[in-house]
Amino acid sequence: MTPPGPLLASIYGLYLLAVITPGPNTFIVTRLALSASRRHAAWAVLGIALGNAVWLCVTLGGVAVLLQQIPGGMRAVRYAGGLFLLYMGVRGLLAARAASRASAAEPAVTPEKALVERALAGEEARPFRSGLFSSLSNPNTMPFYLSLLAPTVVAGIPPWVRVAAGAGILTIGMAWYGTLAWGLSTGHVRRAYSRREPLIRRVLALMLVVYGIRLLVKG
């Protein structure tokens, strides 16, 4: 059994890697920060945080506890989570390769971005609702949280570890999206990130691949 300290550190580290990988929530915050204002983006961040809190409560308060009572349930989650993270990593590597080939003036359109673009009508008037909808409607959130938080519901792990894991995830998410909203509204971070985006995306994707393989090997 992994001690609580290293366990929480690994959960926070992996979540940080995942949250800074561009996805639907990132596109919402980015669009509002660039096309509207910092205040609009901040409201979207609060909506995203509420959506994440709902997913965490569902995962830690219900589904994960139920799976713990089913023989082999958590092992199945680990296998499913490993495959899912492996899929995310491979898809990230492919997207990074496409981004490196695309013109800076014509960025590649990913399925996630296309999905968000269809739901952006009127978002500047409802930034909080846009952020909440983006978080709650993301089908990747539940399997990711299940795979990420599965080690916190094994026998011998005290309940406060689950609380700390959930609170840390919410804090990291708000800190990252808040930093993104602030940075993109100034333009300096945007220019620095754009110059290194393909490399950053490759590194993050490789980390997800490694963690997914680790889950599959450990079983």
Contacting residues for 200 by C-beta, under 8 A, at least 6 apart: 193
pLDDT tier at 42 (50, 70, 90 boundaries)?
A: very high
Q: Of all residues in the chain, what percent carry a pLDDT higher than 70?
A: 71
- Tell me the two tokens of residue 13: 């580290």
Domain residue ranges in the chain: 4-218
pLDDT tier at 68 (50, 70, 90 boundaries)?
A: low
Which of 213, 33, 48, 211 has its CA nearest to residue 128? Answer: 48
Euclidean distance between CA atoms 32 and 23, whole angstroms? 15
Contacting residues for 151 by C-beta, under 8 A, at least 6 apart: 2, 7, 11, 157
198 pLDDT above the threshold of 50? yes
Euclidean distance between CA atoms 35 and 54, whole angstroms? 28
Side-chain half-sphere CA neighbours of 70 within 13 A? 12
What pLDDT is stored for residue 101 in this prediction? 67
pLDDT tier at 189 (50, 70, 90 boundaries)?
A: low
Which of 51, 34, 31, 23 has its CA nearest to residue 131? Answer: 51
Which of 43, 41, 52, 30 has its CA nearest to residue 167? Answer: 52
- Tell me the two tokens of residue 24: 């639907």
Per-residue pLDDT tens digits for 103-158: 444 544 555 455 444 444 445 558 898 888 878 877 677 778 877 887 776 667 78
